Chains A and B, each alone.
Chain A
Amino acid sequence: MPTLRVSLLGTPFALDCADPDLAAELSRLLATFPAGPADPEPVRLPVASDVDIGVVLAELNAAALARAGCLAVHAGMVAGGSQAIAFPGPSGTGKTTLTVACLLAGLDYGSDEALCLDWSTGAARPYPRPLALAPAAAELAGARPAARPAGVAAPPAEIVLTVADIGARVAAEPLALAHVLLPRRTDPGGAAALHPAPRGAAVAELLRRSFTAHHRPQQAFALTHRVVAAASTWYLDLGHPRDAARLLAELLNRTG
């Protein structure tokens, strides 16, 4: 039984895969999370042969976020150079679609799931997990999925993409959070637009969406304030994701 070793957000994992083809596909999808040579004892996750890849990735994601050694916030993150933009929001608000559109617009990939801030420095760290989105969302973002190997079960309602599939690259550290966007979903036919938002609203939203603030509540509150105080904050009327992506690219061009 092949075992795939990866490291996500500082936690080593060992995926014990019953199916070699599934192991190979997971290895491809998780190539951005190589295991370290000196990783301690990993968290073991059994992977059955008939399981959907999306289920495996979701379980791995949840386990990584629960153990994350950083202030992790439910947010998408993209970057240009050393400047990052984060857009917090719950599931279903279009973070992944917007992220993919941004990558296709030439921005670098931070994450479609979590803004990860170093507890001490406040620096943003990439969490470049595979991007899973509905076919319609992939089309909206302008992405074309890679061919899936024969014999590998795929969630019919979902396409899973890697950064490499999109032809983009993972954002390089160090990263500073330059902008926080608070998305407001609008008609995809409407215009994407940015409006200044009060920094307090960004603080509240980042704390509200945090996965790990409860680990160090006092530090999370102070860190969020410190990071937002140094950033610009905006409401983002989403409109069409590709239009929104162009706005984000322009924002980073202005501050890069």
Chain B
Amino acid sequence: MQALELDGDISLYDSATSQALVLNATASDVWRLLDGEHTLDEIVELLAAAYRVSNASIRPDVVRIITELEAAGLLASGPAAA
């Protein structure tokens, strides 16, 4: 699985399935933080601070994005909860 960035958006390509996925700005930010170093809570907190919104308002989007990446086979496993 390969990732490249273009105009701030990250594209993912799974050569095994020939599936290409282009992440929007928020999903790209989530992807950058899925580096094995951040828990889910930390990702939510970092993005909430960056976007100047509450943790509660952004958490559903973050969870959804991670779930979709896992469902697409582009993420082996999500971050630890906390």
Contact = CB atoms under 8 A, between A and B. Distances in A.
B20 A218 contact: no
A200 B22 contact: yes
Contacts of A218: 2, 15
Chain B interface helix/strand/loop/mixed: strand
A225 interface: yes
A86 interface: no
A228 B15 CA distance: 19
Interface residues of B, number: 14
A203 interface: yes
Contacts, number: 51
B37 interface: no
A207 B9 contact: no
B7 interface: yes
Interface centre among A200, A210, A213, A221, by most B CB within 10 Å?
A200
A208 interface: yes
B9 A200 contact: yes
A225 B15 contact: no
A254 to B, nearest CB: 21
B6 A214 contact: no
Interface of A: 198-201, 203-204, 207-208, 210, 213-214, 217-218, 221-222, 225, 228-229
